[in-house]
Chains A and B, each alone.
Chain A
Amino acid sequence: MLRAVAAAEQLAILALARADGVPSFAADGTLSTWEVLSQQLVTGLSNGMIIALIAIGYTMVYGIVELINFAHGDLCMLGAFFALTAVGALGMDAWGGAGGTLGLVALLAATAVFCGSLNWTVNRLAYRPLRKASKLSLLVAAIGASFVLVNLGLFWGGMPMEVFSGGNSAAAPKAFPALVEPKPAFTVGDVIVSRPDVLVLCVTLPLMAGLTWLVRFTKLGKAMRAVAQNPTAAALMGIDVERVIGASFFIGGSLGGFAAVVYSIYNQTVGFQMGYRMGMDAFIAAVLGGIGNLPGAVLGGLLIGLVRAMSDGYIEARWTNSVVFGILILILVFRPSGLLGAKLREKV
């Protein structure tokens, strides 16, 4: 008798977990296999573009100072809190039409400046004094900076503000208003492309194009590449190396700010731990593409986004992190320089 109850309980738990893992649209049985796949592709690509934007921040900083900036994901988390606070304080969720669009653009810009400045400050206070120290010291400093930012997020989330409607506890996830409503924008066959999907593309594509232009053609971009390739020679050319490094932190951070806003609108929730997940996905994307390589970060981001969506849809959501980290292990073992990375060379 007892044994039968235990078995039934287990079955129920399994069924619950299963239902949790399979997206609701797949459960109603009206969609064909192909449609489920394409829908997961759309979701995966959108998430992938957001991951790519964050991964660029990792790869830019790595390219120039050879530091895995573990605080980068948490920086994005603070950007999301900043955006949520701004939206709540100004009542932006009630703005409609042209005002709403302009407000959204202003919100993106303000969050980008916030995150860029914060990243610049973290570099100035925590990393710059260690420029001549070993790379390990720098890495530990980055982990420390990550802890500081996470705790700032916890503190921020605990502030008694009405905008944090998701709960009064500091650690509780907060609901982010749907500034762009999750309605279909258009359909291709039976596959729905939602308005947040369109938002993701409208924000990420121009930023990536702009960054490519900046790095390839502007004086600052060329100086950034020069500093990355040989900082001593760059200094001998009259380039203020620290200023260029600071600019890279600002630009990488501001891309994280854009990503934070889009991510919050897309997922409609903000919490102090979100930086870990955002950061880890993006870090793995950067390594997958070849750390230090900008197109690689975009490619890696898209691949990680797709893998997450496929794992959510066809394996189980609770396995997704294992799948993604499994990929990290495979890359590190078999292709440590990443998909687009140059062959690893000793720096002379």
Chain B
Amino acid sequence: MSAPAGRPMLRVQGLKCSFGQAEVLHGVHLEVHPGEIVSLIGANGAGKSTTLMCISRIHRSQGRIEFDGQDIGALPPEQVVRRGLAQVPEGRRIFPRLTVRENLEMGAFIRSDRDAIAQDMERVFGIFPILKERSSQQGGTLSGGEQQMLAIGRALMSRPRMLMMDEPSMGIAPLLVAKIFDTVRNVLRAQGMTILLVEQNANAALRMSDRAYVLETGSVVLAGTGEELLRDPRVREAYLGH
């Protein structure tokens, strides 16, 4: 496996998480280096979303979580965002009765530089022009794909150095899936954004990733570059359907 040299931006070691008596993560290790797109693939219930929620400190966990070389494993969630690590959560979780503009403002909650926030909002409108058209509509009235764009735009509004995206293709129209993957590949990557991507669509995820981890029932069972995993017979069998 060809993990890049140098200090990783995110390093997770021995991450364990339990819900009640049931342990759902049994010691996950992963690393994401600056500028990389790394994806985390696996079946339903493998613990992908839980991993992201632990890193964002929404769920309690054991093990070490380092961001930029500093331990963030004991911080409250709002401090993780302030350090520059944002998440686009599964199912979008936009604020349904706030307008599109207010949703984006909430994304910039940790900032107080008004002019720069206004500029960033224009930048988000530049990436997703439909959001500008809908800016005074309530978030809940948007289609699934538009809500996903809003969720991505909202996360960008905190000016993160790293973005974690949870199932951005889930439950939205194929045309919009293409648009969103295109945004990840061509806009975010071009800006040098570091991304940890959780995706059920393993084929698409592996194609756009530098590296990937395969998660099975709470443990990482395979790791490699996107191309290596695309060729790996076990991955082909289990996740690519051929």
Contacts and interface: CB of A to CB of B under 8 A. Distances in A.
Interface residues on A, range: 10 to 19
Contacts of B98: 222, 225-226, 229
Nearest to A235: B77
B89 A233 contact: yes
Contacts of B78: 235, 238-241
Contacts of B91: 348
Contacts of A235: 56, 58, 77-78
A348 B89 CA distance: 14
A236 B76 contact: no
Contacts of B86: 236
A230 B93 contact: yes
A238 B95 contact: no
A234 interface: yes
Nearest to A232: B58
Interface string B78-105: 1001100011010101111110001001
B107 interface: yes
B10 to A, nearest CB: 16
Contact of A232 (B76, B89, B97, B109): B89
B89 A236 contact: yes
Interface string A104-141: 00000000000000000000000000000000000000
Nearest to B110: A238
B97 A237 contact: no
B106 A237 contact: yes
A231 to B, nearest CB: 10
A233 B109 CA distance: 12
A226 B58 CA distance: 16
A222 B105 contact: yes
Contacts of A343: none
A235 B107 CA distance: 10
A229 B56 CA distance: 19
B77 A236 contact: yes
Interface string A196-239: 00000000000000000000000100110110011011111111
Nearest to A219: B109
B109 A236 contact: no
Contacts of A230: 93-96
A23 to B, nearest CB: 44
Interface in A329-348: 348
Contacts of B64: none
A223 B89 CA distance: 18
Contact of A236 (B81, B102, B105): B81
A322 B118 CA distance: 55
A270 B78 CA distance: 44
Contacts of B81: 236-238
Nearest to B97: A229
B97 A225 contact: yes
Nearest to A240: B78
B16 interface: no
A235 B95 CA distance: 12
A225 B95 contact: yes
Contacts of A233: 89, 93-95
A233 to B, nearest CB: 4
A229 B86 CA distance: 19
B56 A237 contact: no
Most chain A CB atoms below 10 A, which of B76, B82, B106, B155:
B106
A232 B91 CA distance: 12
Nearest to A342: B97
B158 interface: yes
B106 A222 contact: yes
Nearest to A233: B93
Interface in A308-324: none
22 contacts: A219-B105, A219-B109, A222-B105, A223-B106, A223-B109, A225-B102, A229-B97, A232-B58, A233-B93, A234-B95, A235-B56, A236-B77, A236-B86, A237-B109, A237-B158, A238-B77, A238-B82, A238-B109, A239-B106, A239-B109, A240-B76, A348-B91
Closest 7 CB pairs of A and B: A238-B81, A238-B110, A233-B93, A235-B77, A238-B78, A229-B95, A240-B78
